[in-house]
């Protein structure tokens, strides 16, 4: 599974001019399931995401995860958005190929599973809408943008 994690001051997603997800400080996470992915990869990706230490501690050092921001007096949110284009293959020409992305049914299943697991592990979780034409707005804090990849098990 793939994720593009952006540390944000705030982020929101709308569909047809309707606000469907919004957070303050936290992570906007674009999530993509690839062919061969399973719930095991989703679990590993979530564990990595929740432990990613990119928030500043009291000394200004990136040393806090989203889970221990609360110890710093704040609680960060997760805005999870499905994004199959993260699986783009661009080495063969100018038009990206998306053949590495999971089929839509598997992509939806794994995204829904990822969201459900995130909601059991973290108190503030908002989402986009799978396969919708979404408008995503964010204020990238830093900027800090981290790609994560958990390859399918062999």
Does this model's pTM top 0.85? My answer is: yes
CATH number of 2-149: 3.50.80.10
Catalytic pick among 85, 98, 99, 145 = 85
pLDDT along the chain (154 residues), means of 10: 97 98 97 97 98 93 87 78 96 94 97 98 96 97 97 84
Catalytic residue flag (residue 84) = yes
Residue 21 has a pLDDT of 97
- Residue in 6, 27, 67, 84 annotated catalytic: 84
- Select which of 6, 83, 126, 127 is catalytic: 83
For 49, the enclosing helix (H) or strand (E) is helix 39-51
**Strand pairing report for 134-149 and 18-23:** unpaired
| Domain boundaries defined on the chain | 2-149
């Amino acid at each position: 599974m793939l994720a593009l994690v952006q540390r944000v001051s705030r982020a929101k997603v709308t569909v047809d001019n309707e606000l469907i997800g919004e957070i303050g400080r936290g992570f906007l996470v674009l999530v993509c399931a690839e062919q061969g992915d399973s719930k095991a990869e989703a679990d590993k990706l979530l564990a990595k995401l929740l432990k990613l230490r990119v928030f500043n501690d009291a000394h200004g050092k990136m040393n806090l995860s989203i889970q221990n921001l609360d110890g710093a007096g704040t609680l960060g949110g997760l805005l999870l958005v499905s994004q199959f284009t993260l699986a783009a293959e661009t080495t063969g020409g100018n038009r990206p190929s998306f053949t590495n992305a999971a089929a839509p049914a598997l992509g939806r299943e794994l995204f829904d599973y990822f969201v459900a697991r995130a909601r059991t592990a973290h108190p503030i979780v908002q989402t986009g809408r799978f396969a919708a034409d979404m408008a995503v707005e964010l204020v990238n804090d830093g900027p800090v943008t981290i790609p994560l990849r958990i390859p399918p098990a062999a």
